[in-house]
Amino acid sequence: MSKNPNKFFVTTPIYYVNDVPHIGHAYTTIAADVIARYKRSEGYDVFFLTGTDEHGQKVQQAARDLGVEPQAHVDKLHERFKELWVRFNTSHNDFIRTTEERHKQVVRAILQDLFACGQIYKDSYEGWYCTPCERFWTEKDLLEGHCPECKRAVTQIEESNYFFKMGQYGKWLEEHIRTHERFILPASRRNEVLGFLARPLGDLCISRPKARLPWGIPLPFDEEYVTYVWFDALINYISIHGHLKDIHASGYWPADYHLVGKDILTTHSVYWPTMLKASGLEPPTTIFAHGWWTVNGQKMSKSLRNVVEPNHLIDRFGVDAIRYFLMREVPFGMDGDFSHKALIGRINSDLANNLGNLLNRTLNMIDRYHDGCIPAPVEPQKNDKLKCEFLETVPQIHELYRELAYNKILERIWKLVDTANKWIDSNAPWNLVKTEEGKQELASVMYNTAESLRAIAILIYPFMPATGEKIMQQLGIQTPIEQQGIGSILTWNGTPPGTRINPGPQLFPRIEDKEAEKILASVQSAASAPADTAPADTAAATTEGVPEEKDLISIEDFMKIDLRTGKIVEAEKVKKSKKLVQLKVDIGNGEVRQVLAGIATAYEPAQLVGRTIILVANLKPAKLMGIESQGMVLAGSENDRIVLAGFDQTLAEGVRIK
């Protein structure tokens, strides 16, 4: 059964429940909401899906560390995502959790079908396992002995597992990508996947022994194993519609867009389509992998104190301002830089000065010149220029939506805002009102200005739904925007003459210079880390300062820090640096880390060799003076005196600190 042409299906990835929702999660979800709202305005039956991924080793470990059951752990954590999507006013039709019975039943049914037809087999396996990514790698996959995805250490494991015959679909997948240009977007991501497929595609390990990992969906044909988290998680896109027969009957499959971050492109563009092919289903129409957000040119990092927390942004600037900024600032698909200064600039120029000013001056003149009622146009022939500008824009925007070119769509809409403002200036209603002949022309000018605002409200609604609705309310138009539809712009004259306007508060109050300075100063203050030892992310940490209540973190946040014992086996001062010492630290299992620490003023290298220290082992590597540091040593600092953290008894290398 083919897809119903009147139905549209868009998904976000299902977000990993252990993560704290951040601006990147919001970015993907808002992008999905925009296309969903737009397609509804075109008359489509839209299904917009989001949710949380709740199985796997990291969830199990986090729950164990907290002393709670995994189900209780995820039952609490998934609410953070649900609550954030409510705050961001997203219009998702369903929120799926991989621990729900409706999902588990479909996963087990697909596994059973694939096993019955010989697509799954059991074999012993010896390879390198990355715990953070929860996946195996072959020797040739590793990058300098580390996981090619997260760049962290891997562990050699030998065990029996079940495998999906993914390798047999490698040539088919490559051909599908080459013959379907819109299957992977943008084009740069498409080329990445084709490069990945240039090497032979191997089979996929799809199980974990229950003895090692009990938290997962048991295999239907062997209860001693649970399903590999990615084989489980990806199926959410179809399990939401029921079993295979229900998926066909729903008319929504194949999905029109899977929106994902570029870090999970391989799983979605290689694992997922081969799983679908084996199950007799078509691949999704488009997998769109967008970029990441940096902050003032730096990658978001808790140690740099520059993580952008969505709830704080909403509290300070409002939902629609954030939605607008994220979709307007950079092309969707590329990496973007988040700056509070740029955000304030957009609010003041685009939202307050342009859009807000257009609405305010229009309503003021309708109130002054027409007693608060939108007049009927009497000279439509003189309004063709304004009308034509809008009519030409609708098909242009439609094409831009096909490419998810959100920033270009908003740029085009704001040209209409400028056009409407210039329309008012060029017609000068304040002069027309002075003569009887001018008053007749004035009625047409004000009607068409109001109609342009109605059209703008419809066009911005997918991006800023609350703002679109407020414009309609202030114009006095009662019909909901989605009911009016984008097609109503093409007919023009959709604003009923005689409608009484209902002026309200400013859409976007301008952020004055003094207030902007306060905001930027507070952001800068929060981002400033103590510099008494060495730069953040690589220097020894200190114990100076007691956090205020607003700076307190949860136990879940603390448990994400991987503190390990390590023995210093080599130490030498870094040339041209007064503070830095280059250390080689043994953290067990044959792994030696290179770490830079700002402790040269307190310790000579000879004093450090053989010493057991505490290392932050899951810190992203960074370079100082051209040398890579792969962790952070803990130390205390008092009156320029630095003391390494240690123990009063001997511990082996690699012991986790709790």
pLDDT higher than 80, residue 402:
yes
- The Cα 97–Cα 120 span in angstroms is 25
Q: Evaluate whether 407 touches 341 at the Cβ level (below 8 Å).
A: no
Indicate if 387 and 257 belong to the same structural domain: no
Whether the predicted pLDDT of 254 surpasses 80: yes
Nearest residue to 4 (alpha-carbon basis) of 243, 259, 255? 255
68/152 same-domain check = yes
Q: Are residues 449 and 377 in the same domain?
A: yes
| Domain shared by 286 and 348, yes or no | no
Q: For position 542, what pLDDT does the model report?
A: 30
Q: Domain check: are 450 and 568 in the same one?
A: no
Find the mean pLDDT for residues 596-619.
Answer: 86
Question: What CA–CA distance (Å, rounded) separates 527 from 529?
Answer: 6
In whole numbers, what is the pLDDT of the chain averaged over residues? Answer: 89
Q: Does some domain include residue 432?
A: yes
Q: How many domains does the chain have?
A: 3
The amino acid sitting at 299 is: K
Residue 48 sits in the same domain as residue 180: yes
**Residue 586, helix vs strand vs coil:** strand
SS3 54: coil
Is 319 inside any structural domain?
Answer: no
**Confidence band of 209 (pLDDT split at 50, 70, 90):** very high
Read off the pLDDT of residues 302-320 as tens digits, 9 standing for 90 and up: 555 667 889 999 999 999 9
Q: Is the pLDDT of residue 135 over 80?
A: no
Please give the distance of CA 53 from its chain centroid, rounded to a whole number: 15
pLDDT in tens, 332-370: 999 988 989 999 999 999 999 999 999 999 999 999 999
pLDDT on residue 556: 56
Give residue 148's pLDDT band: very low, low, confident or very high (50, 70, 90). Answer: confident
Q: 538 lies in a domain? A: no
Q: What is the mean pLDDT of residues 637-649?
A: 74
* CA-only gyration radius of the chain, Å: 29
Q: Is residue 523 part of a domain?
A: no
What is the C-alpha separation between 314 and 260, in angstroms, rounded?
Answer: 23
CA distances from 28 to 174, 226, 237, 290, 378 (A): 27, 30, 16, 8, 46
pLDDT at 559: 65
pLDDT of residue 403 exceeding 80, the answer is yes
What percentage of the chain carries pLDDT values higher than 70? Answer: 92
Distance CA 556, CA 62 (A): 8
Whether 275 and 421 share a structural domain? no
Answer yes or no: do 166 and 285 share one domain.
yes
DSSP 160-202: EEEEE-GGGGHHHHHHHHHH-TTSEESHHHHHHHHHHTTSPP-
Specify the 3-state DSSP secondary structure of 227: strand
In angstroms, the CA 106 to CA 239 distance is 6
pLDDT, residue 658, reads 75
CATH number of the structural domain spanning residue 413: 1.10.730.10
Q: Which pLDDT tens digit goes with each residue over 436-453?
A: 889 889 999 999 999 999
Within 8 A by CB and 6+ apart from 243, the residues are: 105, 106, 109
Flag whether pLDDT at 383 surpasses 70: no
Instruction: Please give the pLDDT value at position 642.
Output: 86
**Mean pLDDT calculated for residue range 147-157:** 83
Of the pLDDT bands very low, low, confident and very high (cuts 50, 70, 90), residue 474 is very high
Across the range 134-163, mean pLDDT stands at 83
Q: Is pLDDT above 90 for 532? A: no
Which of 465, 491, 517 corresponds to the end of one domain? 491
Which of 259, 291, 323 finishes a domain? 291
- Which CATH number is 12's domain given? 3.40.50.620
Q: Say what the pLDDT of residue 545 is.
A: 33
> Is the pLDDT confidence value at 533 over 60?
no
Question: 271: left (phi > 0), else alpha (psi -120 to 50), else beta?
Answer: alpha
Indicate if 276 and 412 belong to the same structural domain. Answer: no
Indicate whether 529 belongs to any domain.
Answer: no
Whether 27 has a pLDDT exceeding 70, the answer reads yes
DSSP string, 89-104: T---SEEEETTSHHHH
For the segment 203-210, the average pLDDT, to the nearest whole number, is: 94
Kindly state whether residues 480 and 554 are assigned to the same domain.
no
- pLDDT at position 392 is 95
Last residue of some domain: 291, 322, 355? 291
Q: Note the pLDDT of residue 163.
A: 96
Asked if residue 622 is part of any domain, the answer here is: yes
pLDDT at site 529: 41
Strands 15-16 and 45-53: parallel
Give the per-residue pLDDT at 550: 42
Look at residue 327 and tell me whether its pLDDT is greater than 90: yes
Answer whether residue 573 is part of any domain.
Answer: yes
Q: Assess whether 343 and 479 both reside in one domain.
A: yes
Q: In terms of residue numbers, what domain contains 374?
A: 337-491
User: Which residue carries 């280059």 as its tokens?
Assistant: 582
CATH number for the domain harbouring residue 600: 2.40.50.140
Query: 345 and 285 in one domain?
Result: no
pLDDT digits (tens, 9 = 90+) for 543-554: 333 333 344 666
The pLDDT tens digits of the residues spanning 497-531 come to 999 999 999 999 999 999 999 998 887 776 654 43
CA angle 258, 469, 8 (to 5 degrees): 25
Note whether residue 412 is domain-resident.
yes
